[in-house]
Amino acid sequence: MFSVFFNARGVISVTRVPEGRTVTAQFYVRKCLRKTLAKLRKDVGKKKMRHQLLHHDNARPHTASLTKIFLKSRKVKLFPHPPYSPDLSPCDFYLFWKMKDLLRGKHYKSATEAEAAVRGALRRLSINGFSAVFDDWLSRCEKCIKYKGDYFE
């Protein structure tokens, strides 16, 4: 399992979750968010960090008090995610599907080999950036508002 953060330009960070490890709020903050925010700050600069929005779904590690406190202490603004809305998560409607297509039918001898394949697939996806994904995401958000949370095609 991997934690992947990306923006319109491409992948920001990838963290492999050790086999058998449960992703807790503590793991999410210490291993995923800290690394991601440090890389993002390096990429966009300190001034532009205050204009960045973080979007993640409502998984327990994302909504835990520890995570909220950490993000607040770093002045990170969250883009809200409505409950039960996988159609509004770029990972669900784009990234997971693309990764499955790129990795389908392949077998790996070790976790290290699998991680190299995942990172390679993410690099291929990042070549053109993810700007179209975020355009689609905004369109989906607008539809969700228009249809007041009802399902739409």
How high is the pLDDT of residue 7?
Answer: 86
The CB-based long-range contact list for 107-115 (8 Å cut-off, 24+ gap) reads 111/16, 111/19, 115/2, 115/16
Q: How much helix, strand and coil, in percent to the nearest 5, is found in the chain?
A: 55, 10, 35
CB atoms inside a 10 Å sphere around CB 40: 19
In a domain, 97, yes or no: yes
Range of the domain at 119: 2-146
pTM, rounded to two decimals: 0.80
In a domain, 135, yes or no: yes
In a domain, 89, yes or no: yes
Q: How many domains does the chain have?
A: 1
Query: What token pair was written down for 131?
Result: 């700007």
Report which residue type is found at 78.
Answer: L
pLDDT in tens, 37-64: 999 888 877 777 777 888 888 789 999 9
Burial 90-113 (b: 16+ CB within 10 A, else e): bbeebbeeebeeeeeeeeeeeeee
In a domain, 151, yes or no: no
129: CATH: 3.30.420.10
Q: How far apart are CA 21 and CA 116, in angstroms?
A: 19
Torsion angle in degrees (nearest 10) through CA of 34, 123, 89, 18: -50
Pairing of strands 53-54, 77-78: parallel
pLDDT in tens, 62-109: 999 999 999 999 888 887 776 666 677 788 888 888 899 999 999 999
